[in-house]
Amino acid sequence: MRARLESFARQVLGPCKVEADCGWDHGGALVLRLRDREGTAWYAKQNPHHEVHAREVSAYRRWVPHLGDRAPKLRAATDDLPALVISAVPGVAFTGDDVEVHGQAGRLLRRFHEIETFPPWTDLVAHKLAEVDAWVARANGLFDRPELDFVRSTLRSLEGIPAPPRVSCHFDYSPRNWLVDEGRVYLIDFEWAQPEVWVNDLGRLFFGLWRTRPDLREAFLDGYGRQPDEADLALLLGSYALTTVWHIVWTHEHGNHEFGDAVRQILHGLMRGEYGKYAQQDTRHAKLLR
């Protein structure tokens, strides 16, 4: 696998040297950092899932160029491996709790969301229920009946909400995909990018770091320039119930059981109503969930 990726990179870049293997563990994509003979850094990425590769290449061609120098640029792609070569952006993965970084990340996400808007999503509930069924078909008994009944009923409860528009979403928007260099935030990793409701790009933050850091949440939302209202929060809570399903299945298939266990705890917290209370108490300017 690596030899073929290196060969493709050299076809694209000419003579180059592999500096590091930067891929994630647990059966994810193979990612190599390379440097060409002029000293320019590049990344070559080979994804084992063709549909994920196709989604990422589409994002790099359709949306990412609108971010200018705040994101990598696609140099080449092939469906045969499948693989792509992208430019490097400066910075290191953000691991701190800087309020300014969160504000800037909010502004960058708003910029990404404004690239493309889609008509109101009139069949949102039916679409997401079908997604549940598709993931459960791969679950091999990972879920009990109360868990699945909760996810489906939560999604059905969204039937009365006006159909929201979709926008160009990153769909894995979290600090691990923000690179920071001299105070500037750069965005990477677009393999989950797809049309979605804007608020669903907040899920990883809302159900993670922001629970104990409302200052970071408010800095981000101030930067984004919008606070979620009652309908947005209902969509976020309902949609993230589905997200926990595919996260659990995906992590099981790739052997990342520690993360899968953490996601299941979020699902159980949703079932106990913990996050509805959190949204009520801590989201400034939002109407209360009832």
pTM of this structure: 0.92
pLDDT category of residue 276 using cuts at 50, 70 and 90:
low
What is the per-residue pLDDT across 7-39, written as a single tens digit (0 to 9) for each?
A: 999 999 999 999 999 987 666 789 999 999 999
Q: How far apart are CA 269 and CA 154, in angstroms?
A: 13
192-213 confidence digits (pLDDT tens): 999 999 999 999 999 999 999 9
Query: Quick check: 259 pLDDT over 50?
Result: yes
User: Under a CB-based contact definition with an 8 Å cutoff, are residues 68 and 185 in contact?
Assistant: no
Question: Looking at residues 161-180, what average pLDDT do you find?
Answer: 96
Q: How distant, in Å, are the alpha carbons of 3, 7, 43, 160, 237 from that of 204? A: 34, 36, 25, 25, 12
With b for 16 or more beta-carbon neighbours within 10 A and e for fewer, the 49-59 pattern comes to eeeebebbbeb
pLDDT tens track for 88-140: 999 998 988 899 999 999 999 999 999 999 999 999 999 999 999 999 999 99
The structure tokens listed for 157 are 């409860």
Q: What is the pLDDT of residues 208-243, one digit of tens each?
A: 999 999 999 999 999 999 999 999 999 999 999 999
Q: What percent of the chain has pLDDT over 90?
A: 87
SS3 content of the chain, % helix, strand, coil (to 5): 50, 20, 30
Q: Over pLDDT 70: what percentage of the chain?
A: 94
102-106, 125-129, 182-186, 271-275: least confident range:
271-275
**pLDDT per residue over 49-69, tens digit each?**
999 999 999 999 999 999 999
Q: Are 199 and 236 in contact (CB under 8 A)?
A: yes
Residue 168 has pLDDT above 50, yes or no: yes
- Check residue 132 and give its pLDDT: 97
> Which of 258, 249, 101, 237 shows the shortest CA–CA distance to 180?
101
The pLDDT value given to residue 283: 44
Query: E strands, 22-116, where?
Result: 30-36, 41-46, 74-78, 83-87, 92-93
User: What integer best gives the mean pLDDT of the chain?
Assistant: 93
**Structure-derived torsion over alpha carbons of residues 55, 57, 62, 63, reported in degrees to the nearest 10:** 80
Packing angle of the helix pair 214-224, 99-113 (nearest 10 deg): 40
